[in-house]
Amino acid sequence: MKLSELIEKVEEALEVDAGSVSMQSSSENIEDWDSLGHISILGMLDDATGGASADIVDLTQATSMAEIVQILTENGLLDQ
């Protein structure tokens, strides 16, 4: 998955307008990124990675796009 695809999928998971999510986005600056929104992001990642992201515990604690990108990249699930 490419970064642009990830951003689009996070926007869909959070049900926010296109262009609302960037590398600076986090649970602190996106109102819909609450606990339920985070579960939606995790579900979307699970679908997008064919279940590979479900085993990455660090994703459950990630509260920003930068963290998600770093974790996915480190685990070989994101092409930069």
Say what the pTM is: 0.94
According to DSSP, residue 2 is labeled B
What SS3 state is found at 59?
helix
Q: Which segment of 2-6, 21-25, 76-80 scores lowest on mean pLDDT?
A: 76-80
> For the segment 17-58, what is each residue's pLDDT rounded down to a tens digit?
999 999 999 999 999 999 999 999 999 999 999 999 999 999
φ, ψ dihedrals at 79, nearest 5°:
-90, 125
φ, ψ dihedrals at 67, nearest 5°:
-65, -45
Helix axes 35-48, 3-14, angle to 10 degrees: 140
